[in-house]
């Protein structure tokens, strides 16, 4: 897909979903010279972007959005319009019941929204992390809505090309990793993959590796399940050490001196839009086989219970104590609260101890963006929270917490080893 087609017309890209993945991706394509129509169902998001501002905090993203909106290369809209290529980057959550079923409603809604705009020669790419087979479901839905077009698998020459290309970037380094990281391009046909790779090649300097759509879907899930299993080992080890009265951080530090051992750091659980969610897609697809992956999810989901039990134990010694919860986002130094175990712990403690829980997070202003703006958590500056509290719980090691002075006599529960790293 070149910038100018054979008729001398500028080619266009529509990106459906302008969240943590969609907006950086749209901005990078726009910066590479592509005319990008961004689409989001949130009017505030659309308005903010069209003012040349990013609605999420991410390094130099604000400056990049201002530049590409100002140049006319990026604009945001509430509805899709006709384009040459479409990228779907919408959420794929899981249900919060015991079964934890994947919710593909956002993907299918995005597909329906672009169906009437499709033309012969279009490219559709799904970036949303999805269970194996989702790209095929999207293809089938589009084919049902547009019987006048030929889709991959329906004939030798498809009118519309479809591929799956998962994002693999991390908050805090998104713009850099969008450019540098290798991309897995899962085409529904070889030609689909090649056309999608040519599109990403406009700004991606990493290698574009071609495979089929089902393999690409499984690769994304595997990457995050691998990390989840390794974090689960660290979290389980920390709980065992707590029970035995041993410092888990000492155990991990000494164990990692072995040349073939590299244990990760434990924490209050696992959060974010990927690691806390994606392994459930594998479990849902193969519940009888994914035993280790399932158990790792259970361990990591249980870890907040363990932290709360530690606070309860401290309260048993001081029933009238006030509790400071430091850090609410899902990882340090980002404004992302999706699936955050720290936020879950703080909410539960605030309900258990009304008026006695003080919370602090340097990115608390973004709680509303994550759908948590109506939660009353008694937010105060970190220094004030530490000063007033009898029990101080470090849940996220934000850099802005460095240098906090904690007077002797306060009970400290450091779930992330933050104070140890400051020593």
Which of 206, 240, 271 is the endpoint of a domain? 206
Which of 158, 175, 206 is the endpoint of a domain? 206
pLDDT in tens, 355-372: 999 999 999 988 876 666
Distance CA 142, CA 122 (A): 12
Pair 202, 262 in one domain: no
Q: Which residues are catalytic?
A: 220, 274
Contact of 312 with 347, CB cutoff 8 Å: no
The yes-or-no verdict on residue 9 having pLDDT over 60 is no
Pair 230, 363 in one domain: yes
CATH number, domain at 349? 3.40.50.720
Residue 374 — pLDDT band, cuts 50, 70, 90?
low
Q: Which pLDDT score is estimated for 421? A: 74
Q: Characterize 198-232 residue by residue with b for buried, 16 or more Cβ atoms within 10 angstroms of its Cβ, and e for exposed.
A: ebbebbbeeebebbbbbebbbbbbebbbebbbebb
Q: Which pLDDT score is estimated for 371? A: 62
The reply to whether 244 falls in a domain is yes
Which of 171, 206, 241 is the endpoint of a domain? 206
Contact of 276 with 212, CB cutoff 8 Å: no
Query: CA-based diameter of the chain, in Å?
Result: 78
Contact of 39 with 113, CB cutoff 8 Å: yes
Residue 248 lies in domain: 222-422
The reply to whether 3 falls in a domain is no
Pair 187, 240 in one domain: no
Q: Which pLDDT score is estimated for 163? A: 98
Q: CA–CA distance from 124 to each of 84, 187, 324 (Å)?
A: 9, 10, 48
User: H helices within 34-81, ranges in order?
Assistant: 43-50, 61-70
pLDDT in tens, 116-173: 999 999 999 999 999 999 999 999 999 999 999 999 998 778 999 999 999 988 888 8
Pair 129, 271 in one domain: no
Name the domain count of the chain: 2
Beta strands in 194-298 (DSSP E): 208-212
Pair 162, 261 in one domain: no
3-state secondary structure of 69: helix
Pair 289, 391 in one domain: yes
Of 363, 354, 288, nearest in space to 323 by CA: 354
Beta strands in 50-172 (DSSP E): 74-77, 85-88, 123-126, 161-164
Contact of 314 with 246, CB cutoff 8 Å: no
Q: CA–CA distance from 7 to each of 12, 29, 83, 221 (Å)?
A: 14, 22, 15, 41
Segment holding 293, helix H or strand E? helix 291-317
The reply to whether 2 falls in a domain is no
As a dihedral over the C-alpha atoms of residue 23, residue 25, residue 31, residue 37, rounded to 10 degrees, the angle is: -60
Q: Is 265 left (phi over 0), alpha (psi -120 to 50) or beta?
A: beta
Pair 198, 239 in one domain: no
First to last CA, the chain: 53
Pair 179, 310 in one domain: no
Of 83, 118, 88, nearest in space to 12 by CA: 83
Pair 303, 397 in one domain: yes
Distance CA 196, CA 202 (A): 11
In percent, the amount of the chain with pLDDT more than 90 equals 83
The yes-or-no verdict on residue 7 having pLDDT over 60 is no
Q: For the whole model, what pTM was predicted?
A: 0.90
Pair 274, 337 in one domain: yes
Give CB contacts under 8 A, 24+ apart, made by 1-5: 1/84, 1/85, 1/123, 1/195, 1/198, 1/199, 3/33, 3/34, 5/84
């Amino acid at each position: 897909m070149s910038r100018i087609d054979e008729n001398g017309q500028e080619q266009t890209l529509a990106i459906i979903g302008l969240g943590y993945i969609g907006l950086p991706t749209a901005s990078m394509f726009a910066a590479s010279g592509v005319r990008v129509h961004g689409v989001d169902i949130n009017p505030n998001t659309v308005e903010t972007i069209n003012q040349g501002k990013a609605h999420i905090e991410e390094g130099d993203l604000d400056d990049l959005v201002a530049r590409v909106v100002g140049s006319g290369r990026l604009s945001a809209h509430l509805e899709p319009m006709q384009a040459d290529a479409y990228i779907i980057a919408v959420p794929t959550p899981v249900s919060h019941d015991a079964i934890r079923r994947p919710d593909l409603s956002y993907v299918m809604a995005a597909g329906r929204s672009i169906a009437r705009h499709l033309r012969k020669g279009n490219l559709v790419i799904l970036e949303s992390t999805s269970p194996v087979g989702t790209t095929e479901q999207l293809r089938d839905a589009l084919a049902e809505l547009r019987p006048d077009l030929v889709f991959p698998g329906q004939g030798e020459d498809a009118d519309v090309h479809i591929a799956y290309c998962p994002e693999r970037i991390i908050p805090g380094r998104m713009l850099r990793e969008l450019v540098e990281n290798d991309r897995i391009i899962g085409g529904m046909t070889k030609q689909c993959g090649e056309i999608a790779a040519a599109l990403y090649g406009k700004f991606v300097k990493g290698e574009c590796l071609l495979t089929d759509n089902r393999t690409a879907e499984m690769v994304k899930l595997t990457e995050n399940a691998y990390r989840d299993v390794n974090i689960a080992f660290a979290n389980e080890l920390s709980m065992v050490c707590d029970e035995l009265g041993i410092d888990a951080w000492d155990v991990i530090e000494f164990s990692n001196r072995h040349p073939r051992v590299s244990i990760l750091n434990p924490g209050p659980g696992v959060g974010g839009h990927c690691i806390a969610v994606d392994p459930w897609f594998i479990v849902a697809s193969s519940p009888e086989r994914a035993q280790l992956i399932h158990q790792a999810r259970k361990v990591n989901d249980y870890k907040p219970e363990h932290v709360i039990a530690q606070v309860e134990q401290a309260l048993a010694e001081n029933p009238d104590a006030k509790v400071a919860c430091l850090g609410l986002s899902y990882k340090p130094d980002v404004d992302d609260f999706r699936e955050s175990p720290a936020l879950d712990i703080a909410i539960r403690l605030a309900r258990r101890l009304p008026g006695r829980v003080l919370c602090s997070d340097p990115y608390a202003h973004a709680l509303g963006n994550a759908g948590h703006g109506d939660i009353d958590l008694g937010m105060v500056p970190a220094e004030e929270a530490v000063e007033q509290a009898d029990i101080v719980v470090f849940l996220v090691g934000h850099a802005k917490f460095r240098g906090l002075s904690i007077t002797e006599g306060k009970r400290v529960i450091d779930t992330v080893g933050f104070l140890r790293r400051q020593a």
